[in-house]
Amino acid sequence: MNKKLGILALAVCFSLTSMQMGFAQENYTVFVGYDSWDNEIEKDVGDVTAHIEDPLNLVIYVGNAYPTYVAYVNFTIKHMGNENAPEVFLACIDINNPYAGVEMDIDITDLNGDPIPIGTSLLPGETLEGMITITVLNEVDEDTSYSFGVGLTFSELLSN
């Protein structure tokens, strides 16, 4: 069931992304910041890093992972348009990760831990802050490394 929902979510993301490319003339939103940390206190074995690969894609690397390792990445997206730029709406959250649901769980929420709703709007100059929580599942081998991307697609059109 989860696999079917995941495939359906990807199909919706691709459709919305295609629509956004057809209607929006310009990308107004970009990643402008991030911070990463993990759940390790006593034994510092695993690590997590992130970097902005391009303005629309945040790449996350989890190294030396082990079962039950938890890592976090906070991010900030900003509407960079001038005061005449249109309001934009979150159309899709894309996780480019072949390991998701098999070797790790990935949750993207706001800073309070609530899901970021599709349709969230940003006006010029406004920011959206969120958190990515990565939990390595029990099925992985010790000292495993992963890399994946996260993108948030915004559109000038609010889809229902």
Asked which of 11-15, 21-25, 57-61 is least confident by mean pLDDT, the reply is: 21-25
Q: What are the angstrom distances between the C-alpha of 17 and each of 20, 92, 137?
A: 5, 7, 30
Q: Is 128 helix (H, G, I), strand (E, B) or coil?
A: strand
Q: What tokens does 16 get?
A: 């919305």
- The 10s digit of each residue's pLDDT in 48-84 is 999 999 888 999 999 998 888 999 999 999 999 999 9
Write out the two tokens for 93: 């959250």
Whether 15 has a pLDDT exceeding 50, the answer reads: no
Are residues 29 and 79 in contact, defined by beta-carbon separation less than 8 angstroms?
yes
- Map out the domains of the chain as residue ranges: 2-155
| Residue 111 to residue 122: CA distance in whole angstroms | 16
Q: What is the pTM of this model?
A: 0.80
Question: Per-residue DSSP letters for 54-99?
Answer: ETTEEEEEEEEE-TT-EEEEEEEEEE---TTSPPEEEEEEEEE-TT
Write the pLDDT tens digit of every residue in 104-158: 899 999 999 999 999 999 999 999 999 999 999 988 888 888 899 999 999 998 7
Rounded Cα gap, residues 67 and 135, in angstroms: 8
